[in-house]
A and B are shown apart, each in its own frame.
Chain A
Amino acid sequence: MLKVLCCWLLVGLLLLPASILCQDIPSAAAQLASRITERSTPGAVSIAINNRSSLSDDAVTTLRSELLQQLQARGWRAKSSTEGGTTINITLAESFRNYVWTAEIFEGEVRNIAILEMPRPRLATESTSDPVVLARTLLISSNEPLLDVALVEGKISEGAHLTALTRSSVQLFQMQSGQWRLTQTQPLGIAPGASRDLRGRLFIQQGSIIDAYLPALHCTGVITQTLSITCRQSDDPWPVGEDRRIEGFYASTRNYFNGILSGPAAQNGTVNPFYSAAVLSDRVLYSGIDGRVRSQVNGQTATLPAAKWGSNIAAVQSTCIRDIVIAGSQADFTQSDAATAYAVSNSELTAIAQPAPFPGPVINLNPSPGGQQAVAVVSSLSGRYEAYLLTPRCNY
């Protein structure tokens, strides 16, 4: 009985800040709609919302719906694709004290600005002394198994692109009216090597050149407004970090890298077989298939006994802590996973953020181009596949 009561109390505590925020959203949406209407004459309008803040996806969805209602009530209406009119880019940002929502209202060449500030509640995850908050943003959800997902331009904004790798195709999505819409599916043409735990990697360079790696398969192509790729059977090494400093040869009939490395930072060229690696500025951590995490610095390898991590690790950077390792837990594929951010110093590991929970196991975790974010692909326990963008934000 006590256990049940504690669980409910915990759930209540976790949900409390979000519910307070949800109650504030209708009035905030009304204020923003009012400020927009003060600066422009109501008419046909298209709206894009970009969330740069710690607001949850649910809160943004609620806000979008409330804002559209409030604008309609003030005489605005959605414009068709061929119609001229007003375009409003709303950015949900935040300072260390407040939510700061900005609306850029474009009427032809004229830009007007409306800004709304609201005190930022201290969320449960932020009220700790953790230096970092690991923000989690749902990118896409699919019935088809996803192997990897990548932001092409490295950002979420209107017109930006996203690619997803499945066992048989590369999919191209574009952000349209705040939603990722599937615009093209490019079949691979060749089947990858068979595996009970199929893995893949998408690698984007210069915002347009795409490489897709699957076991015994390498596809290359270009993304402009459309996607074109060519695949060939190959054992080319896969990049293991956010760039090509270290590449690893993938054991095409297994689910891991065989430990043979190439690339300018590969040091002595061989390590123990590993599932994934975190390439930091001064060392590389390998999540070995024997369950051990090894650190390699200047060719010297040492085990990190304190690292109780799962098989998925990735390195990212932030403005407050240069090198961060994001690691999944040691749960198996039958259990929900969580990603935690760590700082590494010598052989010491320090958790620097509250774990970001997922609705299922993490099946892939890779850094994004630029190395400041990572993408986790989750096989949700409800049967869908979801991709999340993980961003370490300094806990202001």
Chain B
Amino acid sequence: MKRICLLLAAITSLAALSFAATRPRYGGMLRLEMRGTFSSFDIAPDTNSNRSRVRDVVLRSVCDRLTAIDATGTPQPSLATAWHFEGDGRTWLFTLRDGITMQNGTTMTPQTVIAALSAQNPNWRFQVSGKELRIDADAPIPGMPFELAESRNSICIAGADGRWIGSGPFQISDFRAGQSVELQAFDDSWQGRAFVDRVRIQMTKSLADQVNDFQLARADAIESDPTQPRPTNSSTGIFSRPVAVIALAFTPNHPAASDPRIREALARSIDRNSIFTVLLRRQGEASAALLPEWISGYAHLFNSAQDLGTAVRLRNQAAALSTLSLVYDGADDLARLIAERVSLNARDAGITLQPRPESPMFRSFDADVRLIRLRIESPDAASALALIGDALDNATLQRARSATNADQLFAVENDALKDFSIIPIAHLPESFSIAPTVHDWILGIAGGVDLGNLWMEPPR
């Protein structure tokens, strides 16, 4: 009887061992290809989503922030272990984590944090008392823990050649401006060493080249886009919620579109439904709002229906109009398709839009209108609107930082959109295709990639 029991126990142990194969493995190199590129270590908001995405992948892997947003959209401790505010939310107090080793071997100090934050927030005032950092702002910032989780508030030190040095799971081991960046696991990361040894990110790769490399097993993870079919049957598509807004933004002080009736006519001429159905292949959502519904809850209040009759009437009321130039990111196939579709819609309303890719000879500020694809980094509506305001240099949207409820946020967004100098078109998810050998690839609630927790199967 005892022998039978031992035999059963052995079988049970073997069964348990076979299930243990799903635990993460250490080692290996992840080869990631992306469209965007960056050539300097700048972390200011960027209206080019491809550039912003590749920069955020690297920045998030190298530098931590005081807070981090979890899968439910709630701020969690990161380099700060606790926080609270005083009064009306102008003053915030953060307790800094002890014993954080930076990738250059130094220990993080309150001065490290102040230097990083003050560079991006010149109007904030800082005071240190022991482990506690006090931040005073000119206006209440109810969403401060969300703001501090944004990439622009990464706690980085500038290295010898300006490259980022942080406390994150990877350090930059090689950087070729505009071409590639290689990351190496940082053994002393306070959250534990990353599972993969290295990550190589090839930049400036068109989607077609990415798909080609993926099919030839030269890449383990690539970006995907509604314009692209699934690269292989065995690949897995990873999608976030809609976290990028596609919009038209008029360049201020260009006389060609100074008549608001022309801007409104253009806004009403756009057939968002066909852009969503045909060009976006029903990924994301068509919208006339800056924030997607999952963040604000009120996006449906902005009328996104095409109204060609009104568009033509408004166009006819306006003065004679020359051709308007519309610039888009030449590396973004989807942007080109949308720009072309918008110009067709505009022509039906009697407006001539000339789509042109951005180039050194024709910069975005030369154009009357820009097609922007802007990543919304925060799931907090106030922070997200303010971040869009920062990227577009729009003071009305920046007021959202002090908003405390949906009524106020709607008022801010409505104010910013009412003169049609910004015309939202759609919201798009972030999406990647990954090889079957890559596991635990997780996109954050706002589309951020967490390279520290993914792992790879060993080569067979």
Residues on A lying within 8 angstroms of B by beta carbon are: 52, 91, 93-100, 102, 104, 113-117, 281-282, 297, 317, 319-322, 345-346, 370-372, 394, 396
Contact = CB atoms under 8 A, between A and B. Distances in A.
B139 interface: no
Given A319-B241, A319-B242, A319-B285, A100 B73 contact: no
Contacts of B242: 319
B75 interface: no
B128 interface: no
12 contacts: A93-B293, A93-B297, A99-B297, A102-B297, A115-B406, A117-B297, A117-B406, A319-B283, A322-B237, A322-B239, A346-B233, A346-B234
Given A52-B300, A319-B285, A96 B230 contact: no
Interface string B266-309: 00000000000100001111000000011111101100000000
B298 A102 contact: yes
B300 A320 contact: no
Contacts of B432: none
Name the 7 nearest CB pairs between A and B, nearest first: A100-B297, A95-B297, A115-B406, A117-B406, A115-B407, A93-B297, A320-B239
A282 B233 contact: yes
Contacts of A99: 297
Contacts of B72: 96
B18 to A, nearest CB: 17
A346 to B, nearest CB: 6
A96 B296 CA distance: 8
Interface of B: 72-73, 229-230, 233-234, 236-237, 239-242, 277, 282-285, 293-298, 300-301, 379, 381, 405-407, 410, 429, 445
Q: Which of B300, B379, B381 has the most CB of A within 10 A?
A: B300
Nearest to B381: A95
A394 B298 CA distance: 17
B240 A115 contact: no
Contact of A320 (B233, B241, B282, B285): B241
A212 B300 CA distance: 33
Contacts of B73: 96-97, 396
B284 A100 contact: no
Given A96-B73, A396-B73, A396-B294, A113 B282 contact: no
Contacts of B379: 96
A371 B236 contact: no
Contacts of A114: 407
B405 to A, nearest CB: 6
B349 to A, nearest CB: 22
B217 to A, nearest CB: 17
Nearest to B431: A322
A134 B301 CA distance: 25
B233 A321 contact: no
B410 A115 contact: yes
Contacts of A113: 301, 410
Nearest to B73: A96
Given A281-B229, A370-B277, 15 more contacts: A95-B295, A95-B381, A96-B72, A96-B73, A98-B406, A99-B297, A100-B406, A113-B301, A113-B410, A117-B297, A297-B233, A319-B285, A320-B239, A322-B239, A370-B282
Contact of B301 (A95, A102, A319, A346): A102
A391 B242 CA distance: 17
A236 to B, nearest CB: 26
B241 A282 contact: no
Contacts of A100: 296-298, 406
B300 A91 contact: yes
Given A319-B242, A322-B283, A371-B282, A95 B294 contact: yes
A212 B199 CA distance: 55
Contact of B230 (A95, A102, A281, A370): A281
Contacts of A346: 233-234
A11 B272 CA distance: 45
Q: Which of A91, A102, A370, A371 has the most CB of B within 10 A?
A: A102
B384 to A, nearest CB: 11
Contacts of B301: 91, 102, 104, 113
A391 to B, nearest CB: 13
A270 B296 CA distance: 48
Contacts of B284: 319
A96 B236 CA distance: 25
B298 A320 contact: no
B10 to A, nearest CB: 29
Contacts of B282: 317, 370-372
Contacts of B381: 95
A264 to B, nearest CB: 16
B230 A320 contact: no
B294 A96 contact: yes
A224 to B, nearest CB: 19
Contacts of B297: 93-95, 98-100, 102, 117
